[in-house]
Structures are given as structure tokens and as C-alpha cells.
């Protein structure tokens, strides 16, 4: 007995498969409705990765009237009334269709709903990497970061926006010369480009506290970076 209650079997604390499906759909519904608000005043096409039965596509088209929604899948297996028109259907494996779409829609897409998950975790990781590599591979130069932050990232071999988004605040703050100020500036630049970034959670090492020698070191490093 713990706190007067009988001990519970660990299995009873795990959600059932029915509940897991319910949570997933609920989360998907909340996230999509949130995203609709985020892009309300931003023109541009939307990508739906994974037509499946067409449920999320149906939700997208209902809430985003007048938008071009391009739907990707390797096959058509949806409800008949959820079949996208031929101009908006991109059939084939994502490894082939995404690189092409990236060229065609470079910098125009305002929302990507990726729903290509399966029961195979390893496969999901592989597809998530493929999607990120194709959609988040813009170079960090596009963020026009302050030199200190930019150099610090470069020194740590972070060259793509996708890599940046995958890092937590703590990991970034551990980098030499990357303090709270850099973190805030980086998030501001990402937000300006339309990326949704979480609020900074903490971080003590503010580089504005660094001595002048460190500033000089930075300026020299910046010059060397430019030359190289």
C-alpha cells in the first residue's frame, strides 16, 4: 500500500492502443488548427505529406479555402471524395518527389503537414530525416545572424537551418561564444523567417559580459572565416 492506495500494475498506467490513437488524432487536430491561425495572413502553398485516407487533407482544404494544397503519397488509397485533383497530387516516393518539389516551390511553402508515420519506428526516423533534409536545408547564412553567433555555429559545423532547429537551448549555450544574447538574436531571426521557435528557457553565459580580448578574438576569427 502506498499513500493508502493499492499499488498499480505498471501496464495499467500505460495508455492503451485505442487511447494512443485518440491522443495522436487529438494532437494532430490541435496542431493543425493552431497552424491555420499562424499562416492566416501569409500567402503561399501548403504541402500535405501522406494522403493516406485523406482525413487531414480534407481538414486542410476545409480550413484553408483558396490555398494551393499539394498532396504527396506513393499511392492513392483515400476516400473517393478526398482525392486531390491531378494538378495538386504528387505521386511517388518522397525520396524522389520532395527534391523536385523543393526546386519548384523554393521558399514559397508556408506550411508542411508531415503525416507519413507508420508502425515501424526505424522507418519513421528515416522518413523524418528525409523530410527535414529536403525542407530545412537552407543555409544559416540566410538568417543574417550577428557575426559572433554565426561564427560560433560555423565552428561547430552547424551550416543548415534544419540543424539549428534540432538543437536545444542548452546545446547551443554550451558552444563557445554563444551566449544568451546570441540565442535570443538567433530566435528572433528564425521567427522573422517564419520559423516557430520556443521561448528561451534560461542560459547564464551572456557574451556581452566577455572581456574586450574575447571581442577582438571574435573579430579576427570572423575575418579568417571570411577569407577561408
**Which residues neighbour 110 within 8 Å (Cβ) at sequence distance 6 or greater?**
39, 42, 43, 44, 45, 46, 194
In the bound state with ligand SAM, the residue whose beta carbon lies nearer, of 84 and 179, is 84
In the bound state with ligand SAM, the residue whose beta carbon lies nearer, of 32 and 205, is 32
For residue 170 the three cell numbers come to 542548452
Considering only residues 54, 84, 162, 179, which one is a binding residue for ligand SAM as defined by CB under 6 A? 54
Note whether 182 and 148 are within 8 A (CB).
yes
Considering only residues 44, 69, 88, 115, which one is a binding residue for ligand SAM as defined by CB under 6 A? 115
- Min CB(94)–ligand SAM separation in Å: 4
Q: SS3 for 48?
A: strand
Considering only residues 55, 88, 155, 160, which one is a binding residue for ligand SAM as defined by CB under 6 A? 55
Considering only residues 50, 162, 179, 203, which one is a binding residue for ligand SAM as defined by CB under 6 A? 50
Question: Alpha-carbon distance 213 to 154, whole Å?
Answer: 21
**Site for ligand SAM contains 183 (CB under 6 A):** no
**Which residues neighbour 32 within 8 Å (Cβ) at sequence distance 6 or greater?**
56, 59, 60, 63, 113
**Site for ligand SAM contains 56 (CB under 6 A):** yes
List contacts with ligand SAM (CB under 6 A). 50-56, 73-75, 77, 93-94, 115-117, 127
Amino acid at each position: 500500500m502506498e499513500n493508502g492506495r493499492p499499488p498499480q500494475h505498471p501496464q495499467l498506467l500505460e495508455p492503451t492502443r485505442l487511447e494512443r490513437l485518440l491522443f495522436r488524432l487529438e494532437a494532430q487536430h490541435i496542431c493543425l488548427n493552431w497552424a491555420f491561425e499562424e499562416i492566416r495572413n501569409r500567402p503561399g502553398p501548403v504541402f500535405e505529406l501522406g494522403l493516406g485516407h485523406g482525413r487531414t487533407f480534407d481538414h486542410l482544404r476545409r480550413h484553408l479555402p483558396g490555398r494551393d494544397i499539394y498532396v504527396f503519397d506513393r499511392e492513392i488509397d483515400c476516400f473517393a471524395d478526398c482525392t486531390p485533383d491531378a494538378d495538386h497530387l504528387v505521386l511517388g516516393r518522397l525520396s524522389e518527389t520532395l527534391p523536385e518539389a523543393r526546386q519548384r516551390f523554393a521558399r514559397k511553402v508556408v506550411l508542411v503537414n508531415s503525416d507519413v508515420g507508420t508502425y515501424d519506428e526505424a522507418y519513421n526516423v528515416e522518413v523524418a530525416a528525409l523530410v527535414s533534409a529536403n525542407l530545412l536545408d537552407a543555409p544559416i547564412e540566410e538568417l543574417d545572424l550577428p557575426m559572433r553567433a554565426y561564427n560560433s555555429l560555423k565552428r561547430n559545423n552547424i551550416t543548415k537551418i534544419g540543424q539549428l532547429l534540432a538543437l536545444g537551448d542548452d546545446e547551443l549555450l554550451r558552444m563557445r561564444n554563444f551566449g544568451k544574447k546570441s540565442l535570443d538574436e538567433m530566435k528572433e531571426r528564425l521567427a522573422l523567417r517564419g520559423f516557430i521557435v520556443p521561448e528561451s528557457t534560461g542560459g547564464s553565459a551572456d557574451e556581452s559580459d566577455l572581456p574586450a580580448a574575447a571581442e577582438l578574438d571574435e573579430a579576427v576569427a570572423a575575418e579568417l572565416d571570411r577569407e577561408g
